[in-house]
Structure 1
Amino acid sequence: LPAGLPAGPVDLVVLSEILYYLDDQDLTTTLDGAVTVLRPGGHLLAAHWLPWAPEAPRSGWDAHRRLVSRPELRCLVAHEDEEFVTHVLERR
């Protein structure tokens, strides 16, 4: 990522255990790309570990906050555990 996204439109994008490893520019590019390839009504599933990985530039929560703040996406499911966070979002 971020160049590894498929051509769209797609029904589902899954981002798991990757977003917190991306720097600010790559995270923005990846989220832009994920939203762009989703068809309207398509879903994005994101799941990330919450403890901060020492080699990661951000926490799982920071990555998810950036994701759920996207105006093109509507949150359908949010689940937080002490170890992980998961969101299912729908492209508006």
Structure 2
Amino acid sequence: MSRDARYFEQLFVGNDDPWAFRTRWYEKRKRNLIMASLPRQRYARVFEPACANGELSAELAGRCDSLLCQDLVPAAVQLASRRLSQWPHVRVTQGHLPEDWPGGCFDLIVLSEIGYYLDLDRWLQVLKLSLASLTPDGALLACHWLHPIKGCELDGRAVHLLIERQLPLFRLLRHEEPDFLLEYWGCQPRAIDLEEPCE
């Protein structure tokens, strides 16, 4: 089963940080690991669905020319919009996956803590849309909690196994800890552009 909008809306009632992204060391450290895992210094166009209140988005904003963030919950969209208001190249929209997948191509798609909230069919649709939206040298970063989540059909390991089985991409990075799995998949069999200039 997929978690419906009401589940997430309830999380944001009277709480602007329901997963404690701003305060928990686990979340801060994981965010730092995600950013350190991006092999390119800068990306042209990034898509981050399920952005929640925009804490990871704020880190991504400094590494790209254009960032599109999306969330299902209106309260999350408002919070992320405020959090990211200092960056004119960032846009936050409300949308439901996979129905509201954006048009255009991206050289980075970030799927963080989202896969297990969708049922199998919807997750497979998201993966298909992700592949179709990647530029020829684009990449997909996925990071998910590995422990079971009550009421979810998939767990983090199953989510990542489906990426491996369904997408004809090169796994360029894998980092696993007891609590989460982080992987970076690319359209090309290389992780670092050695010709990329330093800023």
What's the TM-score bracket when you normalise by the shorter of the two chains? over 0.9
* Structure with greater proportional strand content: 1
Residues 1-92 of structure 1: pairs in structure 2 closer than 5 A: 1-92=97-188
Aligned-partner SS, 2:183: strand
* Structure with greater proportional helix content: 2
**How many angstroms apart in 2 are the aligned matches of 1:23 and 1:44?**
20
How many equivalent pairs are there? 92
> How far off is 1:72 after superposition?
2.1
CA contact (8 A) 1:8 1:36 kept: no
Larger Rg: 2
> How far off is 1:71 after superposition?
4.3
Aligned-partner SS, 1:62: helix
* Root-mean-square deviation (Å): 1.2
Q: Amino acid of the residue matched to residue 43 of structure 1?
A: A
Q: Flag structure 1 segments of 5+ consecutive residues without an equivalent.
A: none
Give the structure, 1 or 2, with the largest relative contact order (CA under 8 Å, sep 6 or more). Answer: 1
Q: Normalising by the residue count of structure 1, what TM-score does the alignment of the two structures yield?
A: 0.92
Q: Amino acid of the residue matched to residue 174 of structure 2?
A: A
**How many angstroms apart in 1 are the aligned matches of 2:167 and 2:153?**
24
Q: Percent identity?
A: 35
> How far off is 1:56 after superposition?
1.2
Q: Flag structure 2 segments of 5+ consecutive residues without an equivalent.
A: 1-96, 189-199
